[in-house]
């Protein structure tokens, strides 16, 4: 299960917290990592009871954004994501999505305030939209480097590029060879034994090391996913998660006929989703060969749209994602006829059909409600922790930011490759946006995506891992990129697709793990002259 500990975590004392409508409290505050978000946690002075929020699903889009238990306070930074700074007295004000003041943190001095805010900015990405004293939390991951240093480095590098001349291939290959030697995993992945896998499921750290050496057989992928996301064990579905999902589903399923007739928005939403699923029906049936899966997918996506209105315009994207989870969780189905009237055993009019879904591990089975629960929470995880919701919701003019880390990492770590890409005719990285947004599900089969998503979940940051997977594809495919003929508008996807035909994705996952682990060191070296 994902740990709540933050690397280099710190605790800040003597902070007063004010909540609208409640009394002020004072205590010590720290940053915590929950299953789908980051949170600020305050323990009041004089409280010595242990941390009570042991359920990593304490804060989700379905729960209250602020929870207090016996002097322990925790609030969701994905909800209170807008920040205002007040200098006198030194104060941080966290606003809810309506921009109403929700929570205020007061500091004893300006130095204490700056110490805390600088720490917060070192752990998560906080941007300023241009209004003085106003900030927004953008990602629960810090920038890869200082933006000012990056700008200076880019300027220096671009001035040194010689795009009209042929580079010395010996220099390029020497640099490439040295870099690959640093990021190539020493061991080839093999199928894991049951003992190795059970040992890895003792902790996230063990699982991360395990995934660099072994790959997981299909019959255990669902178990590993459930372990990493805190949903497991799957043999007994977590009742809290199931009840939370069913309560949400019931909100739109329990509407009256009168409400249905009066709400054009609701009717349009149903019709649009039915149309989208109908258009993609074959894609779903090829994964789970039973028509009942259509109703399961409809219920899950409709419930997600009930959480986020904008997802009603993103049905196809959700279907792409849910197919991966269907492959992960379901291998076959079984129908059982249940007669509701025993008096007429020959009648088919009073029969119900019960569908049971079986996983690749034969002892693993689910009812329709159980499967919907698992799919819903898995989708919610990929939307929140995988950042798909944020990426899909970006305005068109900001879509370019999706590729920024891939672009910048190549620029800093392998500038010769970046120069080569420009010479080959690459004008923009925008063609990588669908691949990054959908986490390879637009490129690779669902079975391969399950492996990548499991690896990303074990990594320190899900979307960060996806980005390093893409960077790894470019680094590993460097010789083939050299042989490409220059074009006016080179398609970057043509540089990525062939690598999966030559190398298996397990190898690229291992490279991405190593690259992610050494990224700070490599980036510091790249910026050493700035």
Q: Quick one: what percent of the chain has pLDDT higher than 90?
A: 66
pLDDT value at 110 more than 80: yes
Q: Give pLDDT tens digits for 89-98.
A: 899 999 988 7
Average pLDDT, the chain: 90
> Does the residue 501 lie in any domain?
yes
Q: Indicate if 355 and 422 belong to the same structural domain.
A: no
Q: Indicate if 236 and 366 belong to the same structural domain.
A: yes
Q: Is the peptide bond before 156 cis (omega within 30 degrees of 0)?
A: no
Q: Give pLDDT tens digits for 305-345.
A: 999 999 999 999 999 999 999 999 999 999 888 876 654 55
The stretch 279-304 carries a mean pLDDT of: 96
Structural domain of residue 315, as residue ranges?
A: 231-385
The stretch 344-365 carries a mean pLDDT of: 78
Q: Give pLDDT tens digits for 199-257.
A: 998 887 888 888 888 889 999 999 999 999 999 899 999 999 999 999 999 999 988 88
- Number of separate domains in the chain: 3
CATH number for the domain spanning 20: value is 2.30.29.230
Q: Indicate if 242 and 314 belong to the same structural domain.
A: yes
Q: Indicate if 360 and 405 belong to the same structural domain.
A: no
Q: Indicate if 99 and 167 belong to the same structural domain.
A: no
pLDDT value at 501 more than 80: yes
Q: Do residues 338 and 351 lie in contact, with contact meaning Cβ atoms separated by under 8 Å?
A: yes
Q: How confident is the model at residue 346 (pLDDT cuts 50, 70, 90)?
A: low
Q: Do residues 379 and 322 lie in contact, with contact meaning Cβ atoms separated by under 8 Å?
A: yes
Q: Would you state the pLDDT for residue 1? A: 45
Q: Rounded to an integer, what distance in angstroms lies between the CA atom of residue 429 and that of residue 48?
A: 52
The DSSP symbol for 309 reads G
Domain boundary among 316, 351, 385: 385
Q: Indicate if 76 and 131 belong to the same structural domain.
A: yes
pLDDT value at 4 more than 70: no
Distance, C-alpha 521 to centroid of its chain: 24
Q: Do residues 385 and 78 lie in contact, with contact meaning Cβ atoms separated by under 8 Å?
A: no
Q: Quick one: what percent of the chain has pLDDT higher than 70?
A: 94
Q: How confident is the model at residue 156 (pLDDT cuts 50, 70, 90)?
A: confident
Distance, C-alpha 457 to centroid of its chain: 8
> Does the residue 476 lie in any domain?
yes
Q: Indicate if 415 and 481 belong to the same structural domain.
A: yes
Q: Kindly write down the DSSP assignment for every residue of 391-435, as one continuous string.
A: HHHS-GGGGGGGGHHHHHHHHHH-HHHHHHHHHTT---SGGGHHH
Q: What residues does 335 pair with on adjacent strands? A: 355
Q: Would you state the pLDDT for residue 343? A: 45
Q: Which residue, chain included where needed, has tokens 């739109």?
A: 252
Helix-then-strand count for the chain, H and E = 23, 15
pLDDT value at 9 more than 90: no
Q: Would you state the pLDDT for residue 482? A: 86
Q: Do residues 56 and 4 lie in contact, with contact meaning Cβ atoms separated by under 8 Å?
A: yes
Q: Rounded to an integer, what distance in angstroms lies between the CA atom of residue 398 and that of residue 402?
A: 8
> Does the residue 210 lie in any domain?
no
Q: Indicate if 344 and 376 belong to the same structural domain.
A: yes
Q: Kindly write down the DSSP assignment for every residue of 75-106, as one continuous string.
A: EETTTS-EEEEETTTTEEEEE-TT--EEEEEE
Q: Would you state the pLDDT for residue 21? A: 77
219 or 20, which is more confident: 219
Q: Indicate if 279 and 238 belong to the same structural domain.
A: yes
Q: Rounded to an integer, what distance in angstroms lies between the CA atom of residue 118 and that of residue 448?
A: 40
Q: Do residues 498 and 519 lie in contact, with contact meaning Cβ atoms separated by under 8 Å?
A: no
> Does the residue 209 lie in any domain?
no
pTM of this structure:
0.93
Q: Indicate if 43 and 109 belong to the same structural domain.
A: yes
The DSSP symbol for 50 reads P
Q: Rounded to an integer, what distance in angstroms lies between the CA atom of residue 230 and that of residue 1?
A: 5
Torsion of CA 119, 120, 125, 126, to 10 degrees: -110
Q: Do residues 388 and 395 lie in contact, with contact meaning Cβ atoms separated by under 8 Å?
A: no
Q: Indicate if 364 and 486 belong to the same structural domain.
A: no
Q: Rounded to an integer, what distance in angstroms lies between the CA atom of residue 137 and that of residue 75?
A: 14
Question: Can you state the percent helix, strand and coil of the chain, rounding each to 5?
Answer: 50, 15, 35
Q: Would you state the pLDDT for residue 357? A: 96
The stretch 171-191 carries a mean pLDDT of: 84
Q: Would you state the pLDDT for residue 61? A: 95
Q: Would you state the pLDDT for residue 133? A: 87
Q: How confident is the model at residue 355 (pLDDT cuts 50, 70, 90)?
A: very high
The stretch 488-493 carries a mean pLDDT of: 87
Q: Indicate if 266 and 287 belong to the same structural domain.
A: yes
Specify the 3-state DSSP secondary structure of 319: helix
Domain boundary among 359, 385, 411: 385
The stretch 444-457 carries a mean pLDDT of: 96
Backbone angles phi, psi at 6, to 5 degrees: -105, 130
């Amino acid at each position: 299960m994902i740990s709540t500990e933050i690397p280099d975590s710190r605790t800040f004392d003597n902070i007063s917290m004010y909540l609208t409508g409640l009394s002020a409290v004072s205590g010590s505050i720290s940053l915590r990592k929950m299953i789908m978000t980051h949170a600020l946690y305050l323990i009041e002075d004089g409280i010595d009871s242990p941390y009570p929020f042991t359920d990593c699903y304490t804060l989700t889009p379905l729960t209250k954004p602020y929870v207090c238990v016996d002097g322990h306070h925790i609030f969701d930074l994905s909800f209170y994501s807008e920040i205002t700074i007040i200098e006198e007295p030194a104060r941080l004000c966290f606003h809810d999505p309506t921009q109403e003041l929700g929570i205020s943190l007061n500091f004893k001095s300006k130095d204490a305030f700056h110490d805390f805010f600088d720490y917060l900015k070192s752990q998560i990405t906080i941007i300023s939209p241009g209004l003085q004293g106003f900030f927004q939390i953008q990602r629960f991951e810090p920038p890869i480097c200082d933006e000012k240093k990056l700008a200076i480095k880019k300027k220096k590098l671009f001035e040194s590029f010689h795009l009209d001349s042929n580079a010395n291939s010996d220099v390029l290959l020497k640099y490439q060879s040295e870099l690959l030697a640093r990021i190539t995993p020493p061991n080839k992945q093999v199928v894991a034994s049951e003992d190795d896998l059970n040992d890895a499921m003792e902790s996230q750290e063990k699982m991360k090391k395990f995934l660099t050496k072994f790959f997981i057989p299909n019959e255990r992928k669902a178990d590993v996913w459930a372990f990493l996301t805190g949903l497991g064990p799957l043999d007994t579905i977590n009742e809290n998660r199931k009840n939370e999902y069913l309560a949400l589903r019931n909100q739109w399923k329990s509407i009256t006929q009168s409400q249905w007739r009066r709400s054009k928005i609701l009717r349009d939403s149903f019709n649009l989703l039915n149309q989208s699923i109908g258009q993609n029906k074959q894609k779903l049936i090829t994964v789970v060969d039973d028509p009942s899966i259509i109703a399961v997918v409809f219920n899950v996506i409709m419930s997600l749209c009930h959480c986020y209105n904008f997802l009603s315009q993103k049905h196809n994207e959700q279907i792409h994602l849910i197919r991966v989870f269907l492959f992960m969780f379901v291998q076959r189905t079984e129908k059982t006829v249940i007669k509701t009237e025993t008096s007429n055993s020959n009648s088919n009019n009073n029969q119900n059909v019960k569908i049971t879904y079986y996983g690749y591990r034969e002892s693993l089975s689910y009812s329709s409600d159980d499967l919907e629960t698992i799919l819903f929470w898995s989708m919610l995880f990929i939307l929140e922790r995988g950042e798909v919701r944020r990426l899909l919701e970006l305005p068109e003019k900001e879509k370019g930011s999706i590729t920024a880390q891939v672009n910048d990492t190549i620029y800093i770590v392998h500038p010769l490759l970046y120069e080569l890409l420009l010479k080959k005719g690459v004008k923009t990285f925008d063609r990588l946006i669908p691949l990054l947004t959908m986490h390879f599900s637009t490129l690779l089969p669902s079975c391969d995506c399950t492996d990548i998503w499991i690896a990303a979940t074990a990594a320190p940051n899900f979307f960060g891992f996806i980005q390093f997977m893409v960077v790894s594809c470019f680094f590993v495919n460097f010789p083939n990129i050299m042989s490409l003929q220059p074009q006016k508008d080179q398609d970057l996807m043509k540089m990525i697709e062939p690598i999966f035909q030559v190398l298996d994705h397990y190898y690229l996952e291992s490279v991405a793990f190593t690259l992610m682990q050494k990224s700070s060191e490599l980036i510091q070296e790249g910026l050493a002259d700035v």
